[in-house]
Structure 1
């Protein structure tokens, strides 16, 4: 007698990933010789990035502080692999980065990024890099072995329509947007009596940021991330490295008056890039139980006052709009306006 019982089982991590056994480098027919890049290639990578900037007009610069950990020149808990393509003269013409993010406890997150010399575009190099990066990302996730949801992501500036087309053709879909907003700093910036009164009523004071507070600040940051980005936490060594860029003169930490517990912070750095001399707010977070008490307003007010004192004409911040519309609304209330937008494309499994 035949059984009518239906049997089924959940697919394993490798079955969901469809991991390729071997990932070959892009073909020689593209005109480039391929190899993995490391610390000794940092000069060539930064030179290629500088050639790409006028065409790509990126929302944020690939500063040396960002490139260094990717090439193994600075400590990081993330795992990076960097593929480079050189022409017959040895000039670096294309770079593809794959990064397996540490600290993402509820899902595997792998990021891919590529930049190709403008004079070498339109030859199929971009698509070949995406195919290699996608396959290598799946291999890295498989090596990790934890049976978690998967997100392979690539961030692209919204005006780079060809890059967006390539990602879509490779199976990536628009997932969320990141807006870069800026605000002009003028001579009217100063302490607000209303903001000061709210801060006093909350029993909170602002103190300048100091690296000795790194771990306390990182703890608050990670708690806020777990609420908005599904547990994508910042490892200690990566936060410490990023904190080295923070300008204490523009950055403040909110602590309780009674027991000096950190309940919020605004950390900013100074940048001299394509948009001139400006401040950029890297981190802004308030502990969940201390929100809506005027602490964020106090931090922003003090930051703008210090920017004005130091003759910094503009400050900016990035907002993940799909995950944090409340923050965007608050930032807009402070007269920030959009300068550029990145779209995060993803393959989710």
Structure 2
């Protein structure tokens, strides 16, 4: 088996693979699968090499996955040698819950679950709003609030050790413009000039919202602020014809976020274990 740089004419089905391939795996010029390598530095100093691979179903169970994974690890080591880090370098592998073949492949290669992404959804039904804690008020969002949200995110999330990447403000600006541009789906609570809590949603497809950001500054926690903000955000979603809200969180989140979402009626519908191994 050999792996070759991907050419546009190779025609690998990125939809079936679940990612945009960079290399194709061939055996006697027959397409076996494809791979891609992504890397980044996380806020806790971790250098992660995410190894993405896919094997055509008809060729699974023949050892191709092991060969591709070993080749990917060698590519990551080569990159690390040329681009050293002061932090800890890890390989990463992703899978979905109940994906035994990928799980077995990763575990056999020495990977262990580092954390698990959990997806929850809620059918919006116009539940009554909850009062904000005393002294706080909702304010309509605009681009003028981007800096405040960016700084609050950095304060609340940058010390996390579960895969968080701290973007620059310019990167956050681009992400806001591309991924959650409708400020009418942002819910911001202020205490005077300070942003106390925030919920940011976006319409992923007709009738379905995703909520990429839910945050409360430490001084305002355990007062019901997150629940009040989510209820207010749900009302905003309904006003825009959105009837289902979805959110990703981490099962191992130190704030214990799964249970509070479930208390609002969210239910879990997907899990994505994230595997890691030292380079």
TM-score normalised by structure 2 residue count: 0.84
Aligned pair in 2 of structure 1 residues 212, 152: CA closer, same or farther (>3 Å)? Answer: farther
Change (3 A) 1:137 1:323: farther
Q: In the alignment, what sits opposite 2:24?
A: 84
Q: Greater CA radius of gyration, 1 or 2?
A: 1
What are the ranges of 5 or more consecutive residues in structure 1 without an aligned counterpart?
Answer: 1-26, 54-61, 72-81
Equivalent residues of 1:222, 1:233 under 8 A apart: no
Distance (whole Å) between structure 2 residues aligned to residue 142 and residue 212 of structure 1? 43
SS of corresponding position for 1:228: coil
In the other structure, the counterpart of 1:266 is 199
CA shift, 1:306, in A, is 1.7
Equivalent residue number for residue 74 of structure 1:
none
RMSD: 3.0
1:314 paired residue among 244, 248, 251: 244
Compared with structure 1, are the counterparts of its residues 280 and 93 closer, same or farther at alpha carbon in structure 2 (3 Å cutoff)?
Answer: farther
Once residues 51 and 233 of structure 2 are traced to their aligned partners in structure 1, the CA distance between those partners, rounded to angstroms, is 33
Gaps of 5+ in 2: none
- Larger % of strand: which? 2
* TM-aligned CA distance change 1:170 to 1:185, over 3 Å: same
Q: What does 1:63-212 correspond to in 2, within 5 Å? A: 82-85=22-25, 94-186=33-125, 188-192=126-130, 195-196=131-132, 198=133, 201=134, 203-212=135-144
Structure 1 pair 283–116 and aligned structure 2 pair: CA distance change class (3 A): farther
Aligned positions of 1:238-257 closer than 5 A: 238-243=171-176, 244-246=178-180, 247-256=182-191
8 Å CA contact retained: 1:106, 1:149: yes
TM-score (norm 1): 0.69
- The answer to whether the Cα contact below 8 Å between 1:101 and 1:110 also exists between their aligned partners in 2 is yes
Q: Flag the structure with more relative contact order, 1 or 2, with Cα contacts below 8 A and sequence separation at least 6.
A: 2
- How do residues 8-23 of structure 1 correspond to structure 2 at under 5 angstroms? none
Change (3 A) 1:270 1:94: farther
Cα gap change, 1:224 to 1:133, in 2 (>3 Å): farther
Structure 1 position 337, deviation (Å): 0.8
Partners of 2:95 and 2:272 within 8 A in 1: yes
SS at match of 2:166: coil
C-alpha displacement of 1:168: 1.2
Residue 333 of structure 1 deviates from its aligned partner by 0.9
- Contact 2:113–2:275 (CA<8 Å) still a contact in 1? yes
